[in-house]
Amino acid sequence: MTELTLVTGAGGFIGGHLVKDLLAKGHPVRAVDIKPESEWHQVWGDAENRLADLREPDGCAQSVAGVGSVYNLASDMGGMGFIESHKAACMLSVLINTNLLRAAEAADVGRFFFGSSACVYAEEHQTSPDVTPLREEDAYPAMPEDGYGWEKLFSERMCRHFTEDFGLATRVARYHNVYGPHGTFDGGREKAPAAICRKVAEAEVYERPEIEIWGDGKQTRSFTYIDDCVFGTQAIMDSDLAEPVNLGSTTLVTIDELVTIVEEIAGITLERRYRTDAPTGVRGRNSDNTKLKQALGWEPDTSLRDGLAVTYGWVRDQVLAQRAVALS
C-alpha cells in the first residue's frame, strides 16, 4: 500500500494544488491546516482533512502519526505589503517547522520537505532591475528579508542539522514568486500577479480605465506558475538534492511588463498610477536554475503569458462573483 503523505498548509495556495496532484497520482494524503475548511482555497474529499495548530507540539505529533513523508508548506505569510508589516507573525512560523521536524524525527518519518523562499537572499544581490540570477550560495553571508526571510533561512538550517544529527532526510526548495488560480487575490495577503489580475479585472468589470501600481513599475521579478511549482516540489522531494535549491522561472520581467501582459489578455489598456511610497521589496530578483537542471534535467517552463491567462480568467470569475453578490 502506498504510504500516507502529510501536506501542511493544505488550505493554502500551493498546498491545495499539491494535495490535488498527489491524490491524482494515487497517494493517500493527510491535509492539515489551522484554518477552518470553509477558508481553505481548495478542499479535496479524497484526502484526510484535519485542523491543527502546528505551532504546538501536540498538533505536530498528531499530524505526523502514521505518515511516511511530510511536505511542510505551513507558514503565516503573504505579499510584500503583508510581510513588511507583520515581521513578528512571519517569524513565529519558525515554531511550525521546529515542532514539525521534532515530531517527524520522533515518528521516524522517511522524508521531510520544507517550502522555503527566495526571500532568504541578501538585498545586496538584488539592488538593480537588471539583476544577476541568484545562486544558492548567494544566501550567505546571511542578510535575508527581515522577518519572513530570516524565518525561512533559520528553518533551512534546522532541516540541515536534523539531517546531520538525526538522519532525517530533508529537502528544501526556495520558491520564486509562485502564482496561479485558486489562491489569495485580495484582502492584503495577495502577491503581485494576483493583485494585478484583480486590479485589471476590476477595471474591466466596473469600467474604470485605470490601475494603481506599487512602486515605479521598473522593479523586476521572475514568476513561477503553480503547475511547475507542484511538479518541481515533488521532483525535489524524490531527488538526492540534500541542499536547498532554487525552484523558479528564469523569465525576468518588470512590473510594468507584467501589467501589459495582463492588459493584453483582458483586451484593455489602462491609465497607470504609481504609488512610489508602497512596499515593493528588492529592486530585482531572478532565479539561477543551474543546480536544479543538473539534478533533475528540468526547470519551470510554463510561459508567463500562458500562466497569466489561466490566472486572470480565474480571478476575473471571482471579481464577477463578488459583483453579483454586491448587487443581489
- Hey, which residues are catalytic here? 148
- DSSP per-residue string spanning 162-188: HHHHH--EEEEEEE--EE-SSS--STT
User: Rounded to whole angstroms, how far apart are CA atoms 62 and 54?
Assistant: 10
Residue 168 corresponds to which amino acid?
L
User: Rounded to whole angstroms, how far apart are CA atoms 311 and 77?
Assistant: 20
DSSP state of 1: -
All three cell numbers of 99: 515542532
Helices 192-205 and 304-327 cross at an angle (nearest 10°) of 50
All three cell numbers of 257: 511588463
Query: Nearest-CA neighbor of 243 among 177, 184, 290, 308?
Result: 290
All three cell numbers of 32: 492539515
All three cell numbers of 275: 504609488
Q: Within 10 A of 70 (CB to CB), how many other CB atoms are there?
A: 29
Is 304 in contact with 262 (CB distance < 8 Å)? no
Residue 111 corresponds to which amino acid?
R
Kindly report the backbone phi and psi dihedral angles of residue 128, in degrees, each rounded to the nearest multiple of 5, phi listed first.
Answer: -125, 140
Element (H, E) at 230: helix 226-237
All three cell numbers of 158: 534546522
Kindly report the backbone phi and psi dihedral angles of residue 69, in degrees, each rounded to the nearest multiple of 5, phi listed first.
Answer: -150, 155
DSSP-derived 3-state class of residue 246: strand
